Structure 1
Amino acid sequence: MIVGYARVSSSGQSLEVQLEALAAAGCQKVFSEKRSGRTAADRQQLQECLDFVRSGDTLIVTRLDRLARSVADLFQIIERLSAKSVSFRCLQQSSVDTDTSSGRLMLAVLGAVAAFEADIRRERQMEGIARAKAAGVYQGRKPSVDVGRVRELRAAGLGASDIARELGIARASVYRALS
């Protein structure tokens, strides 16, 4: 069976292009999700996909960065597929095909390049934040928890669970706000 996996990083992005490409590649079943991809463990549909595939199947993605964003994650996924005798192909990097030794080599090279690009993006982002802070225009993220409101509810005699329920936050967030 040919199985596809598609992923976009945010809910505002569309899976349509990937889904069309996977259908054109002959995928009989496709797993898809709108989820940030820093680690594979956090992606439920990917985990279901990896559990679903079986010996003789081929897993296809449109691009390597849709499957994994780090070399470690990529090789862990490929190892898991290999242990189940599942082939892997990447449509946009067509030389990536785990059925061939040159394809496995290309996979390693492209995985390293993808990790390098992610590191470069992260460095640029941190440089931009540092410049914005120096210019006094960077405010950072707004706190997701209104600490004043948490303390106010606590002073009114509510316990951590009640405060969490009232504000729609985790109980651990209440404890952090109170510390």
Structure 2
Amino acid sequence: MKKIGYIRTTVKKEIEEQSEILIAAGCSKIFVEAKESIDFKSKIKLSQMIDTMQDKETIAVTRLSILSSSVQSLLELMHILEQKKIILEVVEQNFISSGIHTLNELLFYILEFIEDIKVEKQAYGMQEAKESGKRLGRPPKLTAKEVLKAIELKQNSTSRHIANRFRVGRSTLLRHIARSRKSA
């Protein structure tokens, strides 16, 4: 029977990675759903793909999180696939919907699905923040003005005294000074 791959991503490099995995899994055709927003609800390519499929054909995805962004919509999709007698294969999780799975296995897959969704949303948020110019991570201990002042004071004072004055550790002070000199 025919095996068709489905890719849904907001990150372009993931398209290549998922394509390689799906081709290795034996997919003859791959549908790609690429969007800029993590919350895209209308999965047009997925609907088109399901409409063209026949009994006993297989949809292959790399992870369950590719199909849906919520447990509810995943269950609805699984119901549609079951009605149309379409088999679902999740390559990275070794899951095939036509096989018999224990409750523990299904719960494990659902927990893994929820974790994948969290990671995907976090990665998208970080990517969006970087693109908008926001600095990620902990804020610096010293401002640019304080670093310049520290460099000025360093000519007449020790690093330890200057660090105490700005209420930071000596290594933190020296690291900020070194970064300032590198960027200048």
TM-score, length-normalised on structure 2?
A: 0.56
Unaligned runs of 5+ in 1: 126-131, 136-179
How far, CA to CA, are the matches of 2:62 and 2:119 in structure 1?
22
1:99 aligns to 2:91 (yes or no): no
How far, CA to CA, are the matches of 1:91 and 1:47 in structure 2?
20
How far, CA to CA, are the matches of 1:105 and 1:33 in structure 2?
31
What whole-Å deviation, never above 9, does each CA across 1:38-66 have from its counterpart, x for those lacking one? 46x41211121222222110111011111
How far, CA to CA, are the matches of 1:104 and 1:6 in structure 2?
27
* Contact 1:37 1:68 (8 Å CA) reproduced: no
Q: Which amino acid aligns with 2:77?
A: I
Q: Which amino acid aligns with 1:106?
A: E
Aligned residues: 124
- Specify whether residues 73 and 103 from structure 1 end up closer, same or farther in structure 2 by C-alpha distance, changes over 3 A only: farther
* Contact 2:38 2:121 (8 Å CA) reproduced: no
* Contact 1:38 1:70 (8 Å CA) reproduced: no
**Number of the residue aligned with 1:47:** 47
TM-score, length-normalised on structure 1?
A: 0.57
From the CA coordinates, give the structure whose radius of gyration is larger.
2
Deviation at 1:37, TM superposition (A): 5.0
How far, CA to CA, are the matches of 1:8 and 1:118 in structure 2?
11
1:5 aligns to 2:33 (yes or no): no
| SS class of match (2:96) | coil
* Contact 2:62 2:92 (8 Å CA) reproduced: yes
1:26 aligns to 2:26 (yes or no): yes
- Specify whether residues 82 and 104 from structure 1 end up closer, same or farther in structure 2 by C-alpha distance, changes over 3 A only: farther
Unaligned runs of 5+ in 2: 126-135, 140-184
What whole-Å deviation, never above 9, does each CA across 1:118-172 have from its counterpart, x for those lacking one? 468879x8xxxxxx9xx9xxxxxxxxxxxxxxxxxxxxxxxxxxxxxxxxxxxxx
